[in-house]
Amino acid sequence: MPELPEVEVIVRGLRAGVCGRQVVSVDAPWPTSVRGGADRLRELAVGREIRAVRRRAKLALFELDSGAVLAAHLKMTGRLMVRRAGQVCREDPYLRVALTLSDGGVLTFSDVRRFGYLAAFAPGELASWDFWAGLGPEPLELAPEAFAERLAGRKAQIKALLLNQQIVAGIGNIYADESLFRAGIRPDRRASELSRAQLKRLGTCLRKVLEQAIRENGSSIRDYRDANGNAGAFQNSFNVYGRGGETCPRCGTTLVKGRVAGRGTTWCPECQR
């Protein structure tokens, strides 16, 4: 479940292996993983140089010299890697798309559950993509006051709002639970019941948890690997996520596992109110 920190780590790891290379060919053994179709991807990418790789929300973006952009969403089980030509594992049954590069490297997109996708946008086209246009601000660039302002008065459960990409972009289940724990807020509280100070505190905690996760190379739960195939370490820093039934690291109370906003959710009934 790559969220903002994992995608950030992946993007940083990809840069050295793809920037400045041309896309020589596109192989799409599972064409439905390419939004708009493999032919469209070929049309826009083949013969073009990858100028930059960056992240927005949970999207990895490859900017081509034509102004076209390739966007990858890893969803639950997607992986992006750059490998030398001989290292592409033919037995990888989950390989969905492979871009061969001018230096012999291969940018691969694998995805067990096929929720993820690669999408190609012609120059200027990205802005008219509804999902892109609707994305909220980047939490690492959002001052806690402005974060609080975006949530204030909303009647939805605070966790549902954190997961809503239009309010703040890039947060998923892990960092929603971890930031709520740090802020001492129950995930099922309505934003409208919380004080401005509590919301601001949540904004601060969210930034801190994301920054720490990036420093620790992301969280590896089952599928996540960075661009070099390495696992992250932040899963060892979880306070609540995946720890239902264990004890709260702050007060020792048994952590509660339940369902909030349709997602598995863990919190401390003592520390979070």
Partner DNA sequence: ACGAGATCCTGTCAGC
Partner DNA sequence: TGCTGACAGGATCTCG
**6 is a contact residue toward DNA (CB under 7 A):** no
The residue within the footprint of DNA, chosen from 39, 85, 113, 246 (CB under 7 A), is 113
- Rounded CA-CA distance 222/202 in Å is 28
Angle subtended by helix axes 4-18 and 196-215, to nearest 10: 40
Q: Active site residue: 40, 125, 263, 270, which one?
A: 263
Q: Quick one: which segment of 8-16, 17-25, 46-54, 149-157 binds DNA (CB under 7 A)?
A: 149-157
Q: Quick one: which segment of 15-23, 60-68, 80-88, 258-266 binds DNA (CB under 7 A)?
A: 258-266
* Cβ distance to DNA smaller for residue 172 or 232: 172
x/- letters, 59..88, toward DNA (CB under 7 A): --------------x-xx------------
Sheet order of strands, 95-101 included? 23-27, 95-101, 105-111, 78-84
| Closest distance of CB 256 from DNA, Å | 12
Residue 264 Cα distances to 58, 116, 213, 253, 257, angstroms: 20, 21, 20, 19, 7
* Cβ distance to DNA smaller for residue 16 or 131: 131
Residue 203 Cα distances to 39, 41, 150, 185, 246, angstroms: 43, 38, 10, 12, 26
235 in helix, strand or coil? helix
Interface ranges with DNA (CB under 7 A): 1, 3, 57-58, 73, 75-76, 93, 112-115, 130-131, 154-157, 160, 163, 165, 172-174, 222, 257, 261-264
